[in-house]
């Protein structure tokens, strides 16, 4: 059963979305999403005992987040969500700080290029470049984990596939929170759970068009990794809530990994909203989920 805090947050977000609808898809719709996320960033603070250091992973801007006790020789490369059109390392600091503390690793959160100014493959190019930069800094692939939420979750899956296909050594493990793995929107939950989802609702199709671009194919396996060959990937942990339109993306992505003889752990959290893990200070479920991610990463990076 979901906590009282979760029920209250759900109602608050539903109320806010009714008063601030994104509206019909148009050339400037993404700007309202960015404005909303950026306004939330201004309210955020790093928790005590967590430190931030701006950096560049080669040509890709980003930031190091490290909690007291985090190992300097273990790294999580984190790819934020935001529909490929919004978000930044700053918007996800509460989550990356908690991940650093629970997994006891340094977190490199990158500020990959966003659509529509930079459609596919810009974000994927930046993710691969940041991973390659970590290898060039002397980190072994076995000391690196990869993770992301929503669009960043789908981007994490695409990054693994591209690294494998390019012959690069793969990270020790990966996790994906509510991964957006099918930009064609064919998952049944995109329709059946739209009214339940206060975070995304029916907005995913608009975001997809921004990222894919006018000449792209949303079925491309590096855009929609639900269509990719998942053989030979490292262990993967996937978490998803039941109150979100991307529920079926997560389920089907896990099935694809299993079909490729990979090891995947799928956790479906009852009554949880899209990427509930970004609220660790508010939701006990978020704290439990992050602890579970920390356990998974510590085991795989050992």
Active site residues: 150, 244, 274
- Please state, in angstroms and rounded to a whole number, the distance separating the CA atoms of residues 189 and 268: 14
| Residue 256 near residue 161, CB atoms below 8 Å | no
CA–CA separation, 288 and 216 (whole Å) = 39
What is the SS3 assignment for 87?
Answer: coil
Distance of alpha carbon 56 from alpha carbon 16, whole angstroms: 36
Contact of 60 with 129, CB cutoff 8 Å: yes
R_g of the chain computed on alpha carbons? 18
Could you tell me which residues come within 8 angstroms of residue 46 by beta carbon, excluding any fewer than 6 positions away?
Answer: 52, 65, 93, 97
Helix (H) or strand (E) holding 239: strand 236-241
User: Do residues 128 and 162 make contact, with C-beta atoms less than 8 angstroms apart?
Assistant: yes
If you search the block for the tokens 């956790």, which residue do you land on? 267
Closest Cα to residue 170, out of 230, 106, 221, 107?
230
Distance CA 81, CA 114 (A): 11
Cis, peptide link before residue 116, omega less than 30° from 0: yes
Please list, in sequence order, all residues whose beta carbon lies within 8 angstroms of the beta carbon of residue 238, skipping any fewer than 6 positions away: 153, 175, 176, 177, 179, 250, 253, 254, 264, 265, 266, 267
């Amino acid at each position: 059963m979901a906590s009282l805090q979760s029920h209250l947050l759900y109602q608050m977000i539903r109320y806010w979305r009714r008063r601030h609808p994104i509206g019909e898809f148009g050339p400037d719709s993404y700007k309202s999403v960015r404005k909303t996320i950026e306004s939330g960033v201004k309210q955020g603070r790093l928790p005590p005992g967590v430190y931030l250091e701006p950096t560049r992973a080669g040509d890709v801007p980003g930031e190091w987040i490290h909690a007291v006790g985090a190992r300097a020789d273990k790294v999580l490369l984190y790819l934020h969500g935001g529909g490929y059109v919004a978000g930044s390392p700053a918007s996800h600091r509460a989550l990356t700080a908690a991940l650093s503390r629970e997994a006891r690793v340094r977190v490199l959160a990158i500020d990959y290029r966003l659509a529509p100014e930079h459609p596919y493959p810009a974000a994927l190019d930046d993710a691969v470049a940041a991973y390659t930069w970590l290898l060039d800094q002397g980190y072994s692939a076995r000391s690196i984990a990869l993770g992301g939420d929503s669009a960043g979750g789908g981007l994490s899956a695409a990054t693994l596939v591209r690294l494998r296909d390019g012959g690069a050594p793969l990270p020790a493990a990966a996790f994906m929170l509510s991964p957006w793995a099918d930009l064609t929107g064919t998952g049944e939950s995109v329709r059946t759970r739209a009214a339940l989802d206060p975070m995304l609702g029916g907005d995913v199709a608009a975001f997809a068009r921004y990222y894919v671009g006018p000449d792209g194919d949303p079925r491309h396996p590096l855009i929609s990794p639900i269509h990719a060959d998942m053989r030979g990937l490292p262990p993967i942990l996937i978490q998803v809530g039941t109150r979100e339109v991307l529920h079926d993306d997560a389920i089907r992505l896990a099935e694809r990994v299993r079909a490729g003889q990979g090891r995947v752990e799928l956790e479906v959290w009852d009554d949880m909203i899209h990427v509930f893990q970004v609220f660790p200070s508010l939701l006990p479920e978020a704290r439990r989920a992050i602890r579970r991610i920390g356990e998974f990463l510590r085991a795989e990076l050992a």
